[in-house]
Structure 1
Amino acid sequence: MDITPRGAGHAPPPGPPTHPERVRLYDEAFAADPARTYTRLREYGDAVPVELAPGVPATLIIGYEAALEVLRDPVTFPKDPRRWQRDVPQDCPVLPLMMYRPNCMYTDDPVHTRLRRAVTRALDHIDSSALREHVGGIAEELIAGFGAAGEADLLADFARPLPLLLFNRLLGCPPALNERLARGYQGIFDGVAAEKANAELTEGVAELIALKRRRPGPDLTSKLLADPAELSDEEALHQVLLLMGAGAEPEQNLIANGVHLLLTSAEMADDVWGGSLLIEDALDELLWSDPPIANFGFTYPRQDVKFRGTILPAHQPVVIGFSAANADPRTMAGARVGNRAHLAWGAGPHLCPAKRPALLIATVAIEKLLDGLPGLTPAFPGGEATWRPGPFHRALTALPVRFSPVTAGPRRHGDLSGV
């Protein structure tokens, strides 16, 4: 099938090589400066060959319009990976994050619509005002834990635990179980002991589902189990895994990367402190430039597809480069402040259903940090941040800061089960 777009300006320019060497998205060189890699790859067109892990080839879509075209065409670009994963070793580090799961991310219609509606209905029970209050309370309590020291690692001490504490209660998850699941998610995003991490995740959420079958409550897990879609235990397990995945690793990176942006961009910080730029708008700038999920949106064509001058092999992953597409110079004319046309939440039928609460959580968390830590400045060894290797995320290894010590007592965040 030839789905080359109508109109001029999108085909690869004549002359450059048509088969660049596959770029390894999992090594430290790529993590240190992905923008440089994307710029170099643009001479080859909108779809370029990459490697997600040793021996795992894929095609990365780096053009904005090209990404939209793929995301909006689930018929040509289905989400089901089962044919692909037949030939992937069980110990492949990216398999747990890419393998088939009966959830609304890895299924196609009509199953996708049924599962997505159940997730959306559960999320609709979240009250924004209550969520804002509870996030603020957790943030204040965390700040009180390290505020007197005058220094902290805001990734380990704040950005990582805050969404875990929140989703612990939103999902009705016991604290000890939630910590196990958080370790599992970091393992599969980093591709470190991923097979073991995936097993830990699956076992942990199965325990949670069994608990909520016995003792339902006002939490999101119980809402899913009581949904008119009548989810099986396996289906409920994988929707909860999806919600936890979105609420753990990506959310912590959204918070940490947002703080990093404000600490390293004097112009952005001045605008926020001066009141001319809202935290929400600063986060939209981040979602253009450094989205916490940089490469994702997997799809697996059922047959070879000629796409903008490139053959996409049947059953080989096609990955959306959200960060690269956002930076496409053909779409970057004009200001981005207040512009929410970035692709950080995806697009099309698989647009992230949790973007509203996710953005609210990050906004309130960053507001509390700026209000609660006077004189906040970065304290990176050598003056530069370092980034965790991995093909899918944009994630700091640490976020060390200094500030004037504070001794205010914490405000208790109370019970979140009814948020």
Structure 2
Amino acid sequence: MTRPDDSAAPVCPMRRTPLHDRTFADDPDGVYESLRAEGPLADVELAPGVPATLVLDYDTALSVLRDPARFPKDSRVWQRTVPQDSPVVAMMMYRDNVLFQDGPEHDRLREAITDALGRVDSFTLRRYVRESAESLIRDFAPKGEADLLNDYARILPLLVLTKLFGSPPEITSRMVDAITALWDGVDTERANLELGSCVAEVVALRREHPAADVTTWLLEHEAGLDDEEMIQQLVVLMGAGAEPMQNLVANALRLWLSDERFAGNLSGGRLPVEDAIDEVLWQQPPLANYAITFPPQEVELAGRVLPAHQPVVIGIAAANNDPALCSARRDGNRAHLAWSAGAHTCPARGTARMIASVAMETVLDTLPDMDLAVPVERLEWRTGPFHRALTALPVHFPPVPVSDRDEEATGGSDSWSTLPARTQWTRQGVTSTRRRRSSADVDRLPGWNSLVEWLRGR
């Protein structure tokens, strides 16, 4: 290949900084700062024996994300060059979904997803998220202590996925366990098979029994998705709705409870919950490094020539905290890269923000005297090259007993059963799908009680 710029230096073999170890999990900002000495690009290792180029600079990151011709998403050639048992393969392997496609095929799949998500009524979803959150809080409020990650932030997205995608609770719980294992790089081959199996069950169920949910609307879309395409689109949608969502909620609650700028402002009318979410999306986004591309040939970037097919990973947290942007992250600026950018910008970012906002507002309003149970510096982060994820978020607060009136209103200890049994999810006036379902009410899923039992460890 003729190099486009004689000043561009080829990549030289050198020691690569691991992003999968405890050092990075404990102090990613310190690692990013050290890597900046190399310039806007750094040589990193995603897993043992898996090299990559990490983009640290905001403008350089945008140039990659907005140039799919030079930096496409197709990872199939790369897959043949790495051990198939590598813990990161499952999160980077090619799938026939919107995340790994470019051009017209990407546009076809994205239109189907955007149209299906657009049929969800945001007011009904907001109410469902709030009532689900209240149900979770009622279980631990009388105890005076909780783990807001495992008792709250991890379970709430599970409830939302169950309703949005028409997935029976027992399938959703298996699915979320598989997604978590994939992000952690633990037994990924089994987790990948389990995830595919779960999603296939949901697709088969909704083909036979259509309902007013995102899965059915995707099946009915004029794009004509076949079963394999359906499975792969739901894999990326549910993956994005589980692990990153729980991390966004938990990381924002951690910030709220540890930063005096946010303490005590919930009733002050200054939208501190939104401010906390914005701060996290800038500084500690739930995906610290992702938006991976695979240049099909040698390519010049920021004065260097990168090898063909080697992953180019966007350091989302690093780019967001580019020293050149220090003055930009103020006054509600939302130009961060937490939702990616360009053609692959997250199509559900508005829905994700709303879910996170409601989750935070509900628990902070219900338990206003809540504090961290340990010093913030003692909270532990999970290892892994992609996510920014806590292992736990322990808190304590004055116990809040469930009154008889609350018990009567919510159906007692099985308060889950009182969540809306008949809900209209369809947004009126959306006409982009081929076969429009009516805004029929959705009956509560028959497996709901099994989810209650799973959540309570029975």
C-alpha change, 1:331 and 1:405, in structure 2 (3 Å) is same
Cα deviation for residue 317 of structure 1 reads: 0.5
C-alpha change, 1:417 and 1:182, in structure 2 (3 Å) is farther
* Secondary structure in structure 2 of the residue aligned to 1:91: coil
Identity fraction in percent? 50
Q: Which amino acid aligns with 2:71?
A: F
* Secondary structure in structure 2 of the residue aligned to 1:105: helix
Asked if the contact 1:250–1:293 (Cα under 8 Å) also holds between the matched residues in 2, the reply is yes
Match of 1:306 in 2: 300
Please tell me whether Structure 1 or Structure 2 has the larger radius of gyration of its CA atoms.
2
Cα deviation for residue 416 of structure 1 reads: 7.4
Larger mean Cα displacement after TM superposition, 17-26 or 262-271: 17-26
Q: What is the CA–CA distance in structure 1 between the aligned matches of 2:190 and 2:65, rounded to whole Å? A: 31
Larger mean Cα displacement after TM superposition, 271-280 or 322-331: 271-280
Q: RMSD in angstroms over aligned alpha carbons?
A: 2.0
Deviations 1:118-138, CA, capped at 9 Å, x for gaps: 000010011111111000000
C-alpha change, 1:71 and 1:326, in structure 2 (3 Å) is same
1:84 to 71, 78, 92: 78
Cα deviation for residue 21 of structure 1 reads: 2.5
1:147 aligns with 2:141: yes
Q: What is the CA–CA distance in structure 2 between the aligned matches of 1:382 and 1:127, rounded to whole Å? A: 37
Structure 2 length-normalised TM: 0.86
Match of 1:48 in 2: 42
1:198 aligns with 2:214: no
C-alpha change, 1:363 and 1:199, in structure 2 (3 Å) is same
Q: What is the CA–CA distance in structure 2 between the aligned matches of 1:260 and 1:365, rounded to whole Å? A: 13
Match of 1:243 in 2: 237
1:278 aligns with 2:272: yes
C-alpha change, 1:233 and 1:45, in structure 2 (3 Å) is same
1:331 to 320, 325, 335: 325
1:119 aligns with 2:127: no
Deviations 1:358-397, CA, capped at 9 Å, x for gaps: 0000000000010111310001278521100011000000
C-alpha change, 1:336 and 1:272, in structure 2 (3 Å) is farther
1:30 aligns with 2:24: yes
Q: What is the CA–CA distance in structure 1 between the aligned matches of 2:181 and 2:374, rounded to whole Å? A: 24
In structure 1, runs of 5+ residues without a counterpart are 5-10
2:368 to 345, 368, 374: 374
Cα deviation for residue 417 of structure 1 reads: 6.2
Deviations 1:169-200, CA, capped at 9 Å, x for gaps: 11000111111100100000000111110010
Cα deviation for residue 46 of structure 1 reads: 1.0
Alignment: residue pair count: 410
Q: What is the CA–CA distance in structure 2 between the aligned matches of 1:53 and 1:335, rounded to whole Å? A: 32
Larger mean Cα displacement after TM superposition, 191-200 or 20-29: 20-29
C-alpha change, 1:416 and 1:182, in structure 2 (3 Å) is farther
C-alpha change, 1:280 and 1:252, in structure 2 (3 Å) is same
Q: What is the CA–CA distance in structure 2 between the aligned matches of 1:340 and 1:157, rounded to whole Å? A: 29
Cα deviation for residue 23 of structure 1 reads: 1.0
* Secondary structure in structure 2 of the residue aligned to 1:336: coil
Q: Which amino acid aligns with 2:33?
A: T
Q: What is the CA–CA distance in structure 1 between the aligned matches of 2:251 and 2:4, rounded to whole Å? A: 36
Match of 1:8 in 2: none
Structure 1 length-normalised TM: 0.94
Match of 2:429 in 1: none
Asked if the contact 1:2–1:307 (Cα under 8 Å) also holds between the matched residues in 2, the reply is no
C-alpha change, 1:41 and 1:372, in structure 2 (3 Å) is same
Q: What is the CA–CA distance in structure 1 between the aligned matches of 2:231 and 2:26, rounded to whole Å? A: 35
1:156 aligns with 2:162: no
Asked if the contact 1:281–1:337 (Cα under 8 Å) also holds between the matched residues in 2, the reply is no
Cα deviation for residue 278 of structure 1 reads: 3.5
C-alpha change, 1:223 and 1:76, in structure 2 (3 Å) is same
C-alpha change, 1:292 and 1:98, in structure 2 (3 Å) is same
Deviations 1:225-281, CA, capped at 9 Å, x for gaps: 000000010000011111101110000001000100001111122444533243122
C-alpha change, 1:120 and 1:241, in structure 2 (3 Å) is same
2:260 to 252, 258, 266: 266
Q: What is the CA–CA distance in structure 2 between the aligned matches of 1:329 and 1:336, rounded to whole Å? A: 14
In structure 2, runs of 5+ residues without a counterpart are 426-458
C-alpha change, 1:205 and 1:213, in structure 2 (3 Å) is same
Cα deviation for residue 50 of structure 1 reads: 0.6
C-alpha change, 1:335 and 1:240, in structure 2 (3 Å) is closer
Cα deviation for residue 335 of structure 1 reads: 4.7
* Secondary structure in structure 2 of the residue aligned to 1:391: coil
C-alpha change, 1:334 and 1:172, in structure 2 (3 Å) is closer
Equivalent positions of 1:288-307 (< 5 A) are 288-307=282-301
Q: What is the CA–CA distance in structure 2 between the aligned matches of 1:401 and 1:228, rounded to whole Å? A: 48
Q: Which amino acid aligns with 1:117?
A: E
Q: Which amino acid aligns with 1:106?
A: F
1:413 to 419, 423, 427: 419
Q: Which amino acid aligns with 1:69?
A: S
Asked if the contact 2:124–2:423 (Cα under 8 Å) also holds between the matched residues in 1, the reply is no
Asked if the contact 1:170–1:219 (Cα under 8 Å) also holds between the matched residues in 2, the reply is yes
Cα deviation for residue 282 of structure 1 reads: 1.9
Q: What is the CA–CA distance in structure 2 between the aligned matches of 1:372 and 1:276, rounded to whole Å? A: 18
